[in-house]
Amino acid sequence: MKLHELAAPPGSRRAKRRVGRGIGGKGGKTAGRGTKGQRARDTVPAGFEGGQLPLMQRIPKLRGFKNPFRIEYAPVNLDALAALGSDELGPEELVAAGLVRKGALVKVLGRGELPRAVRVRAHAFSAAAEAAIVAAGGSVERIGLPYASGRPPARGNALTNR
């Protein structure tokens, strides 16, 4: 058997109906388009919505997405906490040291090491940071987020807030 001898089984491949080829059979005269009107002619472009701004023009392109519920944290690493030399650290101490701004939500990250036991209060901890603080003999305390529902309020509509 050669490649040019291969063929589909009879009846498995059916030809597409050819419409608009005269009145002798189905698909003659109006060719399934009905009678008259814009859509009976070939003048309506693909995606045309009757004058309404088409979907492809309504959606934003190539601009990404801004999550309206994103929680922004001020990152603080373990090496910065070790450099402060205090046994108790919270957002107030970090603001006083100039590591974070006033009112910022603090997240402790795991870069660096802690040489001694430190009690750390923050809004969030990475897994590595929490393990390192506990391994050094310290303790972690999570501060609740200052939002009533546990997440920030939406900053406008997701489609218009770019």
pLDDT in tens, 8-64: 999 999 989 898 888 887 888 888 888 888 888 888 888 888 889 999 888 878 777
Average pLDDT of the chain? 87
| pLDDT at residue number 151 | 74
Identify the residue whose tokens are 């529902």: 149
pLDDT per residue over 118-129, tens digit each?
A: 999 999 999 999
Is the pLDDT confidence value at 94 over 60?
yes
Contacts of 50 (CB under 8 A, 6+ apart): none
Span 136-143, average pLDDT: 92
pTM here is 0.56
d(CA 63, CA 162): 8
d(CA 141, CA 124): 9
DSSP codes, 51-100: TSPPHHHHS--SS----TTPPPEEEEEHHHHHHH--SEE-HHHHHHHTSS
| pLDDT at residue number 159 | 52
Which CB contacts under 8 angstroms, 24+ apart, belong to 44-47? Answer: none
Is the pLDDT confidence value at 160 over 80?
no
Answer yes or no: CATH 3.40.50.1820 is held by domain 61-162: no
Annotated domain spans of the chain:
61-162
